[in-house]
Amino acid sequence: MHTMDRYTLNDLEKLTGIMSGTIRIWERRYRIIKPHRTETNRRWYDDDDLKRILNISVLYRSGIKISKIATLSGAEIEERVASITREAANPEINIDSLIIAMTTFNEKGVNEVIAMIIISIGFEKTFTEMVFPFLKRVGILWHTGSVNVGAEHFVSNLFRLRIISATDALPPPANTKRQRAVMFLPENELHEIGLLFFTYIIRSMGHEVLYLGQSTPLNAIQDVIEKWQPDTLVTGALSALPFASPEEYLKLVAKTFPEQRILVSGVLVGQIENSIYPNVFVVNTVDDLKSHFSQVTSR
């Protein structure tokens, strides 16, 4: 995996969504960017080149012809991008803006994009329609080496803080038929943004939530159940890495907590088709989650 200041043409394609052949044409015909060269004459690009291409992609997606973009100075390009980003309804443009902010570790830039989108479409849609698709793309980029782990952690933590803040701002649970939900991730699972967002959704519906979070052993959940008596357990995992066998883990959870409704997402969903446990349910979307907390009242 390369350092953050050196990118291949293939990296630029993955980060911007612009085909490498198109970038080469733009280089040759419009001189919009001048690649560096290795000793063997292979192209490489630095952070400034990446930022310029990402800015150009924002203008290009907004309908400005590349021939026009090529006449603009760097300052003019950045000024137009800032203007478009403030008004953008196009998720791809917003994702480009977030990638620019992420790769330059621009906390203010990330927060400004998120705040603008929340004002435009609301908190819930911002995460379902923009943040999670963005994080999925970042995850792919990280696995292919186009984004390093520092950038992924930086931007993920900003989203994490945003969800926690929004959840803290909710009024106390007031649903007259409110349920109690325990939120936890399996041992060795650390990716909690999805679980935090589900916590926000359940709390926004007026239910009570106890958030146990990352890497929770089953005996800790048993202690909570004895003392707090929840109706529902919500869990999931981003990948199969925390498990020797996801199927065995699901079976263990279902048998250990037979009195609770268990909602699972992520990699565990694939194990449910063959599940014989009536207390285990799939949650793929926010609508799935809302359906469970709308239809079933507390004990």
Q: Are residues 177 and 156 in the same domain?
A: no
Last residue of a domain, one of 100, 134, 167: 167
Q: Are residues 145 and 23 in the same domain?
A: yes
Kindly report, residue by residue over 185-217, the tens digit of the pLDDT.
999 998 899 999 999 999 999 999 999 999 999
Bridge partners, 265 (sequence order): 236
Nearest residue to 171 (alpha-carbon basis) of 197, 207, 196, 195:
207
Q: What are phi and psi of 258, to 5 degrees?
A: -70, -20
In a domain, 4, yes or no: no
| 255-258 LR contacts (CB < 8 Å, sep 24+) | 256/218, 256/221, 256/222, 257/221, 257/222, 257/225, 257/233
In a domain, 3, yes or no: no
Last residue of a domain, one of 167, 202, 219: 167
- The domain tally of the chain equals 2
Domain CATH code at residue 268: 3.40.50.280
Q: Are residues 140 and 35 in the same domain?
A: yes
Q: How confident is the model at residue 12 (pLDDT cuts 50, 70, 90)?
A: confident
Last residue of a domain, one of 140, 167, 194: 167
Q: Are residues 124 and 255 in the same domain?
A: no
Residue 270, pLDDT above cutoff 80: no
What is this structure's pTM? 0.77
Name the residue range of residue 41's domain. Answer: 9-167
In a domain, 58, yes or no: yes
Share of the chain above pLDDT 90, in %: 44
Note the pLDDT of residue 1.
Answer: 38
Tell how far CA 210 is from the center of its chain: 22
Q: Are residues 180 and 248 in the same domain?
A: yes
In a domain, 247, yes or no: yes
Q: Are residues 141 and 56 in the same domain?
A: yes
Q: Are residues 205 and 159 in the same domain?
A: no
Q: Are residues 179 and 224 in the same domain?
A: yes
How is the beta sheet containing 180-184 ordered, strand by strand? 208-213, 180-184, 232-237, 261-266, 280-282
Q: Are the C-beta atoms of 194 and 202 separated by less than 8 Å?
A: no
Q: Are the C-beta atoms of 58 and 52 separated by less than 8 Å?
A: no
**What mean pLDDT comes out for the span 127-140?**
85
Q: Are residues 208 and 263 in the same domain?
A: yes
**What mean pLDDT comes out for the span 273-299?**
79
Q: Are residues 146 and 184 in the same domain?
A: no
Residue 297, pLDDT above cutoff 60: no
What residue type is 291 in one-letter code? Answer: S
What token pair was written down for 158? 């900003």
Kindly report, residue by residue over 25-74, the tens digit of the pLDDT.
999 999 888 888 888 888 888 878 888 888 888 888 888 999 999 999 98
Residue 22, pLDDT above cutoff 80: yes
Q: Are residues 38 and 105 in the same domain?
A: yes
Kindly report, residue by residue over 218-264, the tens digit of the pLDDT.
999 999 999 999 999 999 988 788 888 888 898 899 999 999 999 99
